[in-house]
Structure 1
């Protein structure tokens, strides 16, 4: 049937690919600034503990990757780890997301989605106290 359709876009056909172990790690950073940074690190933001909430949101973001990106294959994730670390010299929070699975296609979109969800959550929880927040450096470290 694939040959009969003339679709402008389609999911990649991965049926002939071998199932292998897949792993990806992504990273990104929220520059929080002098007002929000200590409140995040000391867990005193008005909306609650941003670090814990960001890690939970990152887990959810990785699991929802195929729902957010129409051509992303839904994968059975066997590992999702999200870690937020303060970077005092930059007044920022660095976020890592690692995903792993045994699948026919990679898990890099899941890792990137996890980092984005965590960073957006940090942004959302911090914006009432700091209007000049900045997200940057989102990238894939390993696949």
Structure 2
């Protein structure tokens, strides 16, 4: 097991953005969840045991984007203009993409990342019974490649 050095830093505060002008901002984030072929087929055919996986993940992601400042302590609450959550099928995975628009003083990268992460976690939760092996482990299932694809300001 890796050793970690404890870091103590008692200084924590939100960055002061009061002097910044309101500007249109957009961020796009994406990530992937790798699943068994049978599970992917059940999601796409709408036969997953817990229901419509992608519709549920889309709603969960939207709620998470709206709650980002409550979930991540140093994020500012910001006005949201638009939230779009999309899914695409890949070779052995589903990719989630979150596009978030705002008109405020700070960017929306954390909101987009929170949306993608929550979408992928919701997919996992809804199909976990199909993903477990006989020992209750997840040999195929993994979430990866969560990243900011693009951010724009003032357009």
TM-score of the pair, normalised by structure 2: 0.84
What's the CA shift for 1:36?
1.0
Which of 54, 65, 70 lines up with 2:73 in the alignment? 70
| Alignment match, 1:114 | 115
The answer to whether the Cα contact below 8 Å between 1:22 and 1:102 also exists between their aligned partners in 2 is: yes
What's the CA shift for 1:35?
2.6
The answer to whether the Cα contact below 8 Å between 1:35 and 1:130 also exists between their aligned partners in 2 is: no
Unaligned runs of 5+ in 2: 1-9, 133-137
After alignment, is 100-109 or 124-133 more displaced? 124-133
What's the CA shift for 1:8?
1.2
Secondary structure of the corresponding residue to residue 128 of structure 1: helix
| Alignment match, 2:135 | none
1:34-64 Cα distance to aligned partner (Å, 9 max, x none): 2311111111111111011111111111111
Matched, 1:129 2:137: no
Matched, 1:141 2:149: yes
What's the CA shift for 1:25?
0.2
- Runs of 4+, deviation exceeding 3 Å: none
Aligned length: 135
After alignment, is 73-82 or 28-37 more displaced? 28-37
Which of 43, 46, 49 lines up with 1:43 in the alignment? 46
Q: Distance in 1 between matches of 2:121 and 2:106?
A: 26
Unaligned runs of 5+ in 1: 1-6
TM-score of the pair, normalised by structure 1: 0.91
Matched, 1:95 2:96: yes
Q: Distance in 2 between matches of 1:38 and 1:95?
A: 17
What's the CA shift for 1:79?
0.3
